[in-house]
């Protein structure tokens, strides 16, 4: 498909409300105009953005001069700005405030936006110019960053179908458009199931639950218009604490089943038919593009490179993790038997009895720990760590920056030494109806420096359970790690120092390195000593409690590793199939049998609600990336430990220079070698997760 002969903007767009189409107004090079965002404004903004994209591409292809870096590659980098900005705004609203209006827009426009992207890739005159620059890149006097940009742009066009014959491009475009609609439908259905809850109506239902959780559950019920009772909302941030603390086994099973059956209830929100269609379309697309499977296609530009390399790592860790789960279940069953519970450990018992074993073995009661982890102080801790490592300072804005919800707060980020503006940080911490579950980071704007410097804007979204009015929001240890994890993604965006925007995003299996590494500082002594203060008294966490938390750091890692790795292994199995699947339930059941999934553990994400895989292509055949990145993370942590200081300046400097600032402007494996002086050692991962003893016991 080529661009239309007339690139002029449609007359309807000229008359349309231009607010979402304009460059962002305000300070610091512009900020997202959230106070102007309305569902009805997106269609004309999309239309204008697509029209401007077409006009920009037409200008490139009509240029009579020979193709070169400036008139083709850089011109392409400058093209589509309006559409990019509009899609950022729309994506944030769909994830954080997904009303029925936004769901309808998503279903309508996702296929149209996919078609607009394909229109660029399938433009034969455009690709001919890109190929001309690519073929002459070594004789054009380009610097290394420019050469890498040319190579990445060319290779991405090829992988997206630029070389296919017109008939195959037409079929590929149809697949991409259908997939875009299916992704939007999947996300809407999962969100509908996540916007349900289990209602507790009797005070006896609250047995074992800490007071702060009970208060939050009551507030969640009130927020949903329920006058009496306590709502256990069907999201991880509400369900996992309930499964950990509730003495009521019948209610644990009820809450667990509701959570694990999201997307698989046989109602209008059921996703299983969508899954089979998505997987078949992905397999067909891979064949069209000349790849053995969707997994091979997706991994072509990753660090792992091939499914076999990712699977080899996962299987090595899987064996040790399953062995540890056997040990954990043995200990839990022994405790349950000693109590006379008369049960066999089931999946809805795992977190509850694991907590009992933790208390017995390490004398760590997470209910006693939570008062030391308030959201406000842990956020201050994350900012303080960023200042110690990288000299960044965060100053909260007071009303000067528009936000899309009253819960959202913003900070200006500056260089602590010079006071120079670095970027902006947005934080949306709390769960609410219409917001998808989980936690994630978004780059509203990435840094670039080829047309004047554009400074970055980074955002984090979490789903913490808000404290009652006048009460602090208390976090669990896992919540604190989540906060630091997502903030690590934000720092990656804020510290990026690339010239060209296409070089900012890193390969999928590297992108989790900064986030997972930043979790390390959530548990170092200087941070805990300084910021883990009791919410009532302000007293620091007692030294003996700090010591017990440290001793329990690798506790229950069999469970944590198995529930994650099962998802990653199933993802790879699913997307290695050249013809897709016919039955999502049967495939999932048989895949778990093939890998030897322990009966007492279920995957962290079952297929019917696995948004990483079916809400987009982003993590499809890529969920392994967390464990791949963790090999580098475990090894990188050792660099600070070997230095004897978690804030060692030379090590932090290398981390910023080689791993965070360059984006994808340099090869990521070589970048790691520059940071560490060698390749990462996989054994560090087993040590980090405390699985080396499981390997020893098994051998």
Domain locations in the chain as residue ranges: 11-163, 195-260, 307-347+555-698, 370-551
Q: How confident is the model at residue 470 (pLDDT cuts 50, 70, 90)?
A: confident
Give the per-residue pLDDT at 150. 98
Q: Which has more pLDDT, 469 or 164?
A: 164
Quickly state the pLDDT bin for 8 (edges 50, 70, 90): very low
Bridge partners (DSSP) of residue 582 are none
For residues 541, 545, 549, 550, the Cα torsion angle rounded to the nearest 10 degrees is: 90
Q: Which residues pair with 198 in a beta bridge?
A: 232
Instruction: Look over the chain and give the mean of its residue pLDDT values, rounded to a whole number.
Output: 94
Nearest in space to 522 (alpha carbons), one of 650, 382, 418: 382
426/430 Cα distance (integer angstroms): 13
The answer on pLDDT for 67 being more than 80 is yes
CATH of domain 307-347+555-698: 1.10.1370.10
**Same topology for domains 11-163 and 370-551, yes or no?**
yes
Q: What is the pLDDT of residues 90-122, one digit of tens each?
A: 999 999 998 999 999 999 999 999 999 999 999
Residues acting as catalytic residues: 486
Note the pLDDT of residue 364: 83
HEC string of 251-278 equals HHHHHHHHHHCCCCCCCCCCCHHHHHHH
- Residue 150 · residue 137 · CB < 8 Å: yes
Tell me the per-residue pLDDT of 249-279, one tens digit each, with 9 for 90 and over. Answer: 999 999 999 999 999 999 999 999 999 999 9
Give the DSSP letter of residue 397: -
* Domain formed by 11-163, architecture: Orthogonal Bundle (1.10)
pLDDT at 365: 81
Q: Which residue has the tokens 């906060």?
A: 483
pLDDT at res. 10:
39
pLDDT at 699: 42
Residue with the two structure tokens 């369900």: 239
Alpha carbon dihedral 19, 23, 27, 32, in 10-degree steps, equals 60
Backbone angles phi, psi at 430, to 5 degrees: -110, 150
The pLDDT assigned to 3 comes to: 37
460: helix, strand or coil:
strand
Q: Tell me which CATH code domain 370-551 carries.
A: 1.10.1370.40
pLDDT digits (tens, 9 = 90+) for 630-685: 999 999 999 999 999 999 999 999 999 999 999 999 999 999 999 999 999 888 99
Neighbouring residues of 421: CB distance < 8 A, sequence distance ≥ 6 = 28, 412, 413, 414, 455
Looking at per-residue pLDDT, the higher value among 519 and 451 belongs to: 519
Task: State yes or no: pLDDT of 13 exceeds 60.
Answer: no
pLDDT in tens, 532-577: 999 999 999 988 888 888 888 889 999 999 999 999 999 999 999 9
**How far apart (Å, rounded) are the C-alpha atoms in residues 698 and 289?**
43
Q: Minimum mean pLDDT among 10-19, 94-103, 308-317, 368-377: which range?
A: 10-19
pLDDT at res. 309: 96
Above 90 in pLDDT, residue 465? Answer: no
Q: Which helix (H) or strand (E) holds 361?
A: helix 350-362
Asked if the model's pLDDT at residue 215 lies above 50, the reply is yes
Place of tokens 């670039």: 448
CA distance 484 to 486: 6
* CB proximity list for 632: less than 8 A, separation 6 or greater: 510, 513, 672, 680
The span from the CA of 451 to the CA of 449, in Å, is 6
Give the tens place of pLDDT for each residue, 495-522: 999 999 999 999 999 999 999 999 999 9
CA dist list (Å): 610 to 36, 175, 187, 270, 448: 33, 21, 9, 12, 33
Least confident of 303-312, 359-368, 418-427, 667-676: 359-368
Percent of the chain with pLDDT over 70: 97
For 532, other C-beta atoms within 10 Å of its C-beta total: 24
- Show the beta-strand stretches assigned E in 377-494: 392-396, 409-415, 421-430, 440-445, 457-464
């Amino acid at each position: 498909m080529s661009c239309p002969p007339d690139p002029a903007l449609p007359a309807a767009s000229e008359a349309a409300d231009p607010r979402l189409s304009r460059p962002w107004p305000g300070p610091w090079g512009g900020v997202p105009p959230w106070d102007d965002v309305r569902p009805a404004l997106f269609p004309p903004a999309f239309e204008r953005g697509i029209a401007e994209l077409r006009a920009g591409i037409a200008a490139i292809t009509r240029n009579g001069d020979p193709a070169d870096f400036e008139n083709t590659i850089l011109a392409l980098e400058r093209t589509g700005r309006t559409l990019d900005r509009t899609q950022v705004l729309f994506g944030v609203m769909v994830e954080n405030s997904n009303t029925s209006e936004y769901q309808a827009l998503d279903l309508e426009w996702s296929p149209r936006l996919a078609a607009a992207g394909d229109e660029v890739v399938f433009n034969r005159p455009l690709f001919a110019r890109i190929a001309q620059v690519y073929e002459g890149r070594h004789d054009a006097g380009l610097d290394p960053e420019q050469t890498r940009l040319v190579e990445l742009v060319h290779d991405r066009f090829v992988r997206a179908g630029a070389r296919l014959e017109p008939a195959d491009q037409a079929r590929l475009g149809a697949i991409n458009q259908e997939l875009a609609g299916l992704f939007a439908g999947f996300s809407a259905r999962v969100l509908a199931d996540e916007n349900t809850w289990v209602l507790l109506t009797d005070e006896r239902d609250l047995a074992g639950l800490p007071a702060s959780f009970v208060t939050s559950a009551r507030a969640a019920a009130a927020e949903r218009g329920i006058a009496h009772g306590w709502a256990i909302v069907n999201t991880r941030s509400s369900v996992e604490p309930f499964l950990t603390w509730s003495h009521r086994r019948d209610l644990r099973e009820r809450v667990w089943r509701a959570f694990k059956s999201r997307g698989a209830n046989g109602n209008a929100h059921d996703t299983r038919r969508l899954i089979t269609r998505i997987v078949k379309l992905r397999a067909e697309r891979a064949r069209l593009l000349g790849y053995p499977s969707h997994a091979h296609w997706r991994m072509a530009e990753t660090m792992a490179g091939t499914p076999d390399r990712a699977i080899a790592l996962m299987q090595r860790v899987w064996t040790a993790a399953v062995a540890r789960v056997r040990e954990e279940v043995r200990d839990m069953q022994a405790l349950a038997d000693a109590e006379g519970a008369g049960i066999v450990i089931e999946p809805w018992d795992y977190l509850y009895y694991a907590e009992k074993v933790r208390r017995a073995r390490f004398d760590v009661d997470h209910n006693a720990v939570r008062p030391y982890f308030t959201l406000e102080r842990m956020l201050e801790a994350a900012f303080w760590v960023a200042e110690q490592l990288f000299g960044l300072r965060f100053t909260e804005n007071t009303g000067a920056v528009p936000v899309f919800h009253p819960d959202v707060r913003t900070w200006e980020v500056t260089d602590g030494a010079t006071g120079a503006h670095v970027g902006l940080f947005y934080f949306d911490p709390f769960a609410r109806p219409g917001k998808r579950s989980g936690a994630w980071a978004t780059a509203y704007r990435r840094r670039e420096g080829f047309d004047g410097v554009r400074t970055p804007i980074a955002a984090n979204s979490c789903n913490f359970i808000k404290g009652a009015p006048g009460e602090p929001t208390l976090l669990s240890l896992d919540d604190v790690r989540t906060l630091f994890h997502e903030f690590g993604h934000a720092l990656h965006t804020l510290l990026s120092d690339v010239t060209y925007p296409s070089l900012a995003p890193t390969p999928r299996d590297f992108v989790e390195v900064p986030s997972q590494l930043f979790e390390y500082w959530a548990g170092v002594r200087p941070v805990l000593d300084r910021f883990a203060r009791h919410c009532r008294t302000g007293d620091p966490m007692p030294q003996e409690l700090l010591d017990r938390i440290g001793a329990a750091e690798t506790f229950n890692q069999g469970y944590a590793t198995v529930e994650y790795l099962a998802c990653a292994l199933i993802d790879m199995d699913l997307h290695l199939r050249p013809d897709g699947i016919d039955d999502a339930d049967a495939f999932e059941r048989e895949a778990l049998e093939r890998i030897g999934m322990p009966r007492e553990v279920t995957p962290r994400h079952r297929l019917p609600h696995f948004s990483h895989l079916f809400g987009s292509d982003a993590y499809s055949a890529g969920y392994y990336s967390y464990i791949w990145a963790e090999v580098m993370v475990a090894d990188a942590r050792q660099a600070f430990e070997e230095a004897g200081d978690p804030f060692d300046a030379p090590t932090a400097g290398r981390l910023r220079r080689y791993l965070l600032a360059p984006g994808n402007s340099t090869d990521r494996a070589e970048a790691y070698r520059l940071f560490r002086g060698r390749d990462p050692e996989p054994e560090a991962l087993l040590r980090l997760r405390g699985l080396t003893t499981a390997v020893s016991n098994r051998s």
